Amino acid sequence: MADTVADVHQHEAHGHDDHHHDQSWLEKYVFSTDHKIIGMQYMFTGIFMAVIGGYMAYVFRMQLAFPGISVPGFGQVSPGEYNALITNHGTIMIFWVAMPVLIAAFGNFLIPLMIGADDMVFPRINRLSFQIFFLSSIVLLGSLFVEGGGFGGAWTSYPPLSANGDYNQTQLGASLWLIAVALEFVAFLLGGINFITTLMNSRAPGMKAYDIPLVCWMIVIASILFMLSVGPLLAGAVMLLFDQTLGTGFYDPARGGDPILWQHLFWFFGHPEVYVVLLPAIGITVEVMATFARKKIFGYKLVLYTAVATGVLSFFVWAHHQFIAGIDPRMANVFTITTLLISVPIAEMLFVMIATLYGGSIRLTTPMLWALAFMAEFLIGGVTGIFLGASGADIYFHDTYFVLAHFHYTFFPIAIIGSFCAFTYWFPKMFGKMMNDTLGKIHFWGTVIPFNFIFIPLFVLGMGGQHRRIYNFQHFPQIAGPEYFQLRELATIALLVMLAFQLVFFYNVISSWMRGEKAGKNPWKANTLEWTTESPAPHGNWPVDELPTVYRGPYEYGHPDREEDYWPQNLPN
Amino acid sequence: MAHVRPIATTRSATGIPTARLAVWWILASEVVIFGGLLGVYLMHRIGHPEWAEAASHTQTWLGAINTFVLLTSSFTAVLAHQAAEKGKGKEAAKLLGFTILGALMFLMIKSYEWYGEIVAGYTITANNFWSFYYTAAGLHALHVIAGAIIMGFIAVDAYRGRELHRVEIIGIYWHFVDVVWIFLFPLLYIAK
């Protein structure tokens, strides 16, 4: 069989023949089919987009705290630019940072390594996925510079504002924005099919369902959630694009259309999307906690089952985004109940984390600090969600800074803290060097403390009734009191501090990469399979005759019968 | 050197060949795309009884002929799979060729039909029924085009006796394209 496969593919020159001849730089790093390189491509694109998204946040926070000033590095912010900045900040941070880094980058990098395979099952589809994603990034960034400016109708893109160029004044920007998002969805559908099939079919011999590391499970469950929720929105995006360009009336009530329809389609995807990015972050955290508490995960199956339960429930909560959009109050009741229910499985996962830590011999390395911070900060995000999920309270809180602070308390731990946690934990495997722990801890505290100073004031502002889409609060004397301005300035200054501390991270990455201590195969003394190969792993991950076989679950730490406190999955005994 | 597949691709922990597993997941993602669109259409249709007037201008007979064409092309796809199972690459390629012909005929009839509609003034912006009509049928037609192109590549390979397992994979996809049409035809043409 293998012979015929090799024979059959003689006409397809590129791909996995790369063991056999020297590749050019382009072949190796740009058009590679190696899952690790593709993962890196996703990661660096994601980091680049994160820098842009952070820059946008800096510009509009400056405008909010000091209205009308000429922002250093940008200039004066016009209302249209302000809208384009907040819209694209949200879009970039969710679709071009959280998704590519948490799912695509770590999914690509980790899944084959952790299940003991030499690559993804469809390496070339994997490459195509990244290429489409890269194209989508260019389209999105390009949309900021077209005539009329970037789209400013918020990342949720509600019609009729988004559907009609006469309303949003950014005819071309709006369409390009939509095309970029749709392309990005296609990229992740292709990637997701690869992840799911790889996990199902390509596991190392001996690896049963409950021997799979949780982070792989989480990324794959997230991919399935994404795949099942994004379809209606893709159809809806085509309809919106036709409304924008051809002049159809799908979302135009004057012509028999329905603008609320978009909200349903968007949030039917948009709310599962929260869990699409949350689950990988939880998987990463759990992985790191087990390693640095030197203890078995308290409830492996519990985490897995609650993840599935979360996934199922997440399809029945979307209308809590529309409590004041004119939906039937009886429907609002139902969605309040499902929304409050979904906090149960998530709470269980947090309890599992606490129980895993309990009695462990905890090592406070940089990745472990990130993992603990994830737990603490996400908890605040989850608890404040209860206020918004209750339809009565939401009538007051809707579209205030309270909502904004709430979802930043969920998304920041997920996308930023979770990514840093994974990045610092797997950095030795990616680059073969150890990261500087002191610099890592300075960066950690310099990120987490200012983060709280940004968003706790925004909770207060939100409870004060401040609307989240106001360009200049001086235009509204009744809510422009000095005490509010002080809070806004506090948040902005905290943001500046946090952004400044990211320089420590970049310095740390570059200096550790250049002249860090060599990492060796298994610097953390962890059990999972990626630590059994060289750091960085070669193409094909293991020599062909040394592909690992699995004998036990991934979290056998501190086993009483062994001298070592860890027990790698691939050791026969 | 020959292109060697990753070992990952040849493993099968589930017992299902990787390509077949993947195509089912692709279909799952397609089901929700069309499911979302048709669900939305149905809700609107129920809310707008006056669309029946617009729907009465669709050309049911042409739709029916197209249904027949598409079903026949699916039948030849099944025969192609059978031939491929027996290792008869040339036979499979010929039968896939018939399927592609079916796809082309489907698209020609569709173009003729749309041409008639557009000339009669029923364009995509005429009203929301026609918007849905063109969007849903157009999305389906895109799938027919994509399927026919991929099938062409597979038929060429099959003719040379290569990658015969792919005949089954494209067949599964083609049946799906067929099934979508089976939903579209009554919803867009028959329901008046």
Q: What is the C-alpha to C-alpha distance for residues A35 and B53, in angstroms, rounded to an integer?
A: 54
Q: Are strands A75-76 and A70-71 parallel, antiparallel or unpaired?
A: antiparallel
Identify the residue whose tokens are 């939903």.
B183
Identify the residue whose tokens are 């990745």.
A367
CB contact under 8 A, B36 and A236: yes
Q: With a cut of 70, say whether residue A306 has pLDDT above it.
A: yes
**Chain B residues with beta carbon closer than 8 angstroms to that of A255:** 127-128
**Chain B residues with beta carbon closer than 8 angstroms to that of A1:** 10
Residues B25-55: pLDDT tens digits? 999 999 999 999 999 999 999 999 989 899 9
Minimal Cα–Cα distance from B123 to chain A, Å? 10
Tokens representing B104? 């082309």
Identify the residue whose tokens are 């557009």.
B118
Domain ranges of chain B: 17-190
Minimal Cα–Cα distance from A407 to chain B, Å? 27
Q: What is the C-alpha to C-alpha distance for residues A242 and B138, in angstroms, rounded to an integer?
A: 12
Greater pLDDT, A14 or A82:
A82
CB contact under 8 A, B4 and A17: yes
Using CB atoms, pick whichever of B2, B21, B139 lies closest to residue A10. Answer: B2
Minimal Cα–Cα distance from B38 to chain A, Å? 9
The pLDDT value given to residue A481: 82
Residues B99-151: pLDDT tens digits? 999 999 999 999 999 999 999 999 999 889 999 999 999 999 999 999 999 99
CB contact under 8 A, A2 and B10: yes
The pLDDT value given to residue A152: 92
3-state secondary structure of A435: coil
Mutate to test the interface with A, among B18, B29, B125, B127 (most CBs of A within 10 A): B29
CB contact under 8 A, B8 and A121: yes
Q: Please give the residue of chain B at the shortest CA–CA distance from A241.
A: B135
Q: CATH code for B17-190?
A: 1.20.120.80
Mutate to test the interface with A, among B26, B33, B45, B169 (most CBs of A within 10 A): B33
Using CB atoms, pick whichever of A17, A198, A200 lies closest to residue B2. Answer: A17
The pLDDT value given to residue A206: 93
- Mean of all residue pLDDT scores within chain A: 92
Q: Do A274 and B152 form a contact (C-beta atoms < 8 A)?
A: no
The pLDDT value given to residue B107: 97
Minimal Cα–Cα distance from B158 to chain A, Å? 11
What Å distances lie between residue B133 and A38, B15, B138, B188, CA to CA? 40, 41, 8, 6
Among A residues 173-212, those touching chain B with beta carbons less than 8 Å apart: 189, 192-194, 196-198, 200-203, 207
- pTM as predicted: 0.93
CB contact under 8 A, A9 and B4: yes
Q: With a cut of 70, say whether residue A13 has pLDDT above it.
A: no
Task: For residue A94, give every residue at least 6 positions away whose Cβ sits within 8 Å of its Cβ, in sequence order, or none.
Answer: A155, A273, A277, A411, A415
Does the CB of A546 have a partner CB in chain B at under 8 Å? no
Write down all domains in chain A, each with its CATH number in brackets: 32-546 (1.20.210.10)
